[in-house]
Structure formats: structure tokens, C-alpha cells
A and B are shown apart, each in its own frame.
Chain A
Amino acid sequence: MAKELLEGNEAFAEAAVRAGLEAFFGYPITPQSEALEHLSRRLPELDRVFLQAESEVAAINMVYGAASAGVRVMTSSSSPGISLMQEGLSYIACSEVPVVLVNVMRGGPGLGNIQPAQGDYFQSVKMAGHGDFHMIVLAPANVQELIDDMVLAFELAERYRTITMVVADGSIGQMMEPAELPPMRPVRPPEERPDWALTGADDRDPNIITSLYLGAENLEEVNLRLQAKLQEIATNEVRWKEYDTEDADLLLVAFGTVGRICQSVVRDARDMGIKVGLLRPVTLWPFPNERIAELAGQVQGVLTVEMSAGQMVEDVRLAVEGRCPVTFYGRMGGVIPLADDILPELEKLAKMVNGGREAQ
């Protein structure tokens, strides 16, 4: 299939349709409403389910219901809407039904604004709801990756019976660039729904989808099973991309939009004689701890750049474990750090690790 000029929000919605999406439940919120609008037209014309819910709270619980019935289902929203979905996410995580959601992040806290931001890192990777659980979190840096991540998100969600969240930001959602959509795959026929799904207790014992385990030992057992699954995901599904790290003296770590900007920073810095590489986490959970730890043994310093007050940098520091200095540069409120902002920060780090000497 040839490349087309695609808008991020429409592109991920159409990618989901082609990945076999059977139902979408959502609530309009900027900057991702184009996805909901696209699906409001597309799904009914394919005789699949689209429903605009009365709130994000209702939307995620509709998703929970449809996932319990064993269909491929998703929702999408933006930061304040994801906050409202957190209750449902916790129930879904405990019930182990596969769900995909997209967060096109905007500026916060509160109503914030509708500019691109990455302030939901903690919410995505550490506190998606009450109780002990993680979602798989994929962080695309351009429209093509956003498309590819949708296909992967359904595969991962179903393989592990877990939640997969794709976190983009307002700029990826709103930008148009050439990208290629996946081929249309057929939806799963109703008779092939998973054996745990709520399909009616016809010639079998009833299936129960619940997150209630009243006995302490029962609930601990469930938690141990969930943790074992998360460990398996952490072992198998860590993904990242590296640029010019082989001979790097310094390392940039950044994800999403600012991760893409940092690719230009690497080129500019190398032109200036600073030997820098970039690690761009593709899965924010599980996080590429081991690879960052390895690189921390090679480089003299790490600069983490985010569109937030500094959230992922905490995980970078945990991975680095003091092997080298870790500095941070971030912008908030929808301000996107540009190469010209980041380069001086890199020069500062170079000076610091060289004891004030200019980088060689």
C-alpha cells in the first residue's frame, strides 16, 4: 500500500479499523476528536459498533463490557479524559480483559490547555489507577509509528490479556505527514471469541468477569499472577530505538515528539564536535532499564529531555544508578523544546563531565 498524507488522529483510528477493531466507545476531547469523528463514520459503514458515550467514565466501562464479551475494542482520549478513565482501567487490569486505549496528551494539570505535552508519563507508567498494575505503554514519535503501534497494541493486549496504551501528544495527533496504513484484516467471527468471554453459559459453566476477591489470600494469589505476567511482559516486550550510540560520549534520552527532535540535536551536536547518541524509549512501560544502564557505563553523562517538569528522568536515574551524571531539560504547558534549546543544555553537560573543559 502506498504512502498517503495522513493526519495522526485519523491515521491511528483507521489503523485500528484495519487491525480488526470491532467496537469503539469514546467521548470527544481535543486534541484527539478527529479519531472519534473518523470512527463515527467508518465503523457503522463496516457494520461494526461505534457509540459516543455520555462521559469518559461511561466510555471506559462500555469498553470494559465489550472486552468482557471478547471483542477487539478500544477508546481514545486526552489527558483529563484519561484521568476519568482510571477507575475503569484498574478494574480492567484486575479482570484481565484485553483493551487498547490512546492518550493524545495535552498540557496540564487541570484543564490545562490543548497544546502537546508529556506530563502524563507518571500517570501512564506508574499510576494508571488504584492497586498494583501496569499497562503496556507505547510511545510513537511520528505518524507512521503511531499507525504501526496500533496494530502492535492489539496484538500485545490480546497476547497478555492486558491494557495497552498508546501515548502520543497533541502534535503527533494533529500533524499530517506521509505514512502507510496496514492492510485491512478481517474481524474475528463471533464464534471465535475467547473461551473466557461472556457469551452465554450454553453447555458450559458460567464465565465470570470480576475484580472482587474478598479473601486476603485469594487476592494475593491474583496479584501474584498479575505480577508474574507483568514480569513476563517486562522480559519480552521492552522496545527502544538508538541513534549514533556506538561511539557516543554523551547520551540523550527522550521519547515521542521530543525524541524525534533529539534526532536533529544529535546531528547538530556532532557537527559541533560533541559525540552524542540518542536512546528513544518506544515502550515507556516496560522501560529499557538494562540498555540505559549499559550505555551509562559507556558515556560520561546523560541528558533527558521531556515536555514535562521531569518525569521519565526519574526512571532514567534509576536505570543509571549513579554510573554517570544525569541532567534534565524540559518545557511545559505545550511549549515544545527545539533543537536550539536543547543544544546549550548538551554543551553544559559536556563541560560539566569534562571538568569545565570544552568537549573534544
Chain B
Amino acid sequence: MATVEIPQDMELVYDYPESLAEVDTHYCPGCTHGTIHRLVAEVLDELDVRDRTIGIAPVGCSVLAYNYFDADFAEAAHGRAPAMATGIKRVSPDSVVFTYQGDGDLAAIGTAEIIHAANRGELITTIFVNNAIYGMTGGQMAPTTLPDQVTTSSPTGRDVQAAGHPIRMAELIGGLPGAAFVTRQAVFDVRGIRRTRRAIKTAFRAQLEGLGFAMVEVLSTCNTNWGMSPQEALDWAKEHMVAYFPLGDTRVSEGVHALMEG
């Protein structure tokens, strides 16, 4: 990174978060993973927990997330991150443990693990990145692929009669009493990014205060596999994804409500 002297009459207002490793990522240009990684890192910095944080990377595009955070990390089997996080948190209750999972990982192969981790009220935080497609394997249909959306394994569009309907995970998990805070946000514009950051902070604070399981579903894009430019993808997501996956909180426990008010 190039470094410049900051003039004495100026203040540095934007810098690399300490919790983010200063490395190039493998993400496609236009991908929103970079934005979401940064938000998580900013929150870890702000809460001053980087040195006791343990992240769990999924299988999917963010499989290499452990290279991009300056924190201890494990790389889980596909869908099993919540189980691995459970094992770590139970034996190291002072650690701050989070999973970072995509839609295939969390909403297909790992549904049992996420539902039971949430239902037990595991004191972990889950960042769920929903971009309605399998990115890493080349753009196949995901459990969250929209009706009629064309993918490499639904070439004529998702037929809900044959393939079922897209799963609304925030609503599903939000219905479980063990969950303390569940919300769906989107990173399609600056306002959404700021709201997502606030939600991620609340989700980590819920863990630090011992309030229960917390999950932030982040609507995201995959311009590469959607076959769009980054801006087209953001516009498409805003129009179509938000219509099916409404933004907002699906679970705010009393404890988390007090936290947000306080």
C-alpha cells in the first residue's frame, strides 16, 4: 500500500481496519464480499475484540476468508461452520466466535447445523451472505435463487414446482426462541451499507452480552455469475431480491432491544 503523510491540519477519516489483513483478495471485481468483510473488520476493531476473535470460513466464494482477516480462523466443511463454531465457543466462552457463510452453505447443505445452533442459542454471530446463486462452483441454482431466475443448473429459470421456492432464512431463524437478534440487510447502496454495519455491530454485541444467537443476513450480488456489470447487478438486486427477501429485523429479543435503545 502506498503511504502518504497526513497534513497537520487534516484528520485521517478512512483507513484499513486493523482486523482486515492487508492483502489482495480473490473476489471478482464488483463483488460485495469485500464490502461485507470490511464491515465485519470495522466492527471487530470498534468493539476491540480482534485479539480474541475466532472466525469460521465456509465452503463457497468466501472459503478463503481466513486469509483476509487478521484473526484466528478455521475453515469448516460445507455447511458445518455453526457446528464448528459451537465446539469452539463451548470450550472457549471468552472467545468471540463468528461464522461467515453463503447461501448454499447455510441455506442448503448446512440447514440442520444453523437451525440447531440458533435454537440452542449458541453465543455465536453468523454473517449470512445471500446472493441467490452458487458463485464458486460456477453459477448454479441456490436455495435462495429467485423464481424464474436463470442459472447454470436452472437454464430455463427456476421452476418452483420442480425446484421448490427460495428459502427466507431470516424469517425461519427469527422464529426460533434461541435467536436473540436476526435481521436482513442489503449492501446495494451507501445507506444499506451503513445499516448493515449497525446490524453487524448489534449482532456481535448480542454475543458479547451473552444474549443468544445472532445472525445478519446480507443481501448481496454476484455480477459475474448473474452476467451483469457491477452496477447492473446492484440495480437488479434492489429491484428483485428485496421484493422477495424483505429487509428488516425478524427477531429482536428483549435483551437486544435494550441494547439497541441504550
Contacts and interface: CB of A to CB of B under 8 A. Distances in A.
- Where chain A touches its partner, the secondary structure class is mixed
A200 B90 contact: no
Contact of B116 (A58, A199, A211): A58
A197 to B, nearest CB: 9
A57 interface: yes
Nearest to A65: B87
B87 A206 contact: no
B53 interface: yes
Nearest to B59: A212
B75 A211 contact: yes
Contacts of B85: 65
Contacts of A198: 54, 72-74, 88, 92, 95
Interface in B49-92: 50-54, 56-57, 63-64, 66, 69-77, 80, 83-88, 90-92
A22 interface: yes
A6 interface: no
Given A57-B80, A58-B113, A65-B85, A206 B73 contact: yes
A203 B74 contact: no
B87 A209 contact: no
A55 B112 contact: yes
Given A58-B116, A65-B85, A69-B95, A201 B71 contact: yes
B95 A58 contact: no
Contacts of A59: 83
B83 A62 contact: yes
Given A55-B112, A200-B53, A212-B63, A66 B88 contact: yes
B71 to A, nearest CB: 6
Contacts of B84: 61-62, 64-65, 68
Task: Name the residue in A53, A71, A209 with the highest tally of chain B Cβ atoms < 10 Å from its Cβ.
Answer: A209
Contact of B91 (A22, A55, A61, A87): A22
Interface residues of B, number: 34
A49 B52 CA distance: 20
Nearest to B76: A61
A66 B90 CA distance: 8
B75 A66 contact: no
Contacts of A49: 90-91
B51 A201 contact: yes
Contacts of A61: 76-77, 80, 83-84, 87, 113
Nearest to A50: B90
Nearest to A200: B52
Contacts of B95: 69, 198-200
Contact of B112 (A54, A64, A69, A203): A54
Contacts of B91: 22-23, 49, 66, 69, 71, 73
Contact of A51 (B51, B69, B73, B90): B90
B80 A88 contact: yes
Contacts of A302: none
A66 B74 CA distance: 11
Contacts of A55: 112
A24 B1 CA distance: 46
Nearest to B77: A91
A64 B53 CA distance: 17
28 contacts: A23-B87, A23-B91, A49-B90, A53-B116, A57-B83, A58-B116, A61-B76, A61-B83, A64-B84, A65-B56, A65-B85, A65-B86, A68-B84, A68-B87, A91-B76, A91-B77, A198-B88, A198-B95, A199-B92, A200-B52, A200-B54, A201-B70, A206-B69, A208-B72, A208-B74, A210-B66, A210-B73, A211-B75
Top 7 nearest A-B pairs by Cβ distance?
A65-B87, A61-B83, A62-B87, A65-B84, A210-B75, A202-B51, A66-B87
Interface of A: 22-23, 25, 49, 51, 53-55, 57-59, 61-69, 71, 73, 87-88, 91, 190, 198-203, 206-212
Given A23-B91, A53-B116, A210-B74, 17 more contacts: A25-B87, A49-B90, A57-B112, A62-B83, A63-B87, A73-B87, A198-B72, A198-B88, A198-B95, A200-B51, A200-B53, A200-B95, A201-B50, A201-B71, A206-B69, A209-B74, A212-B63
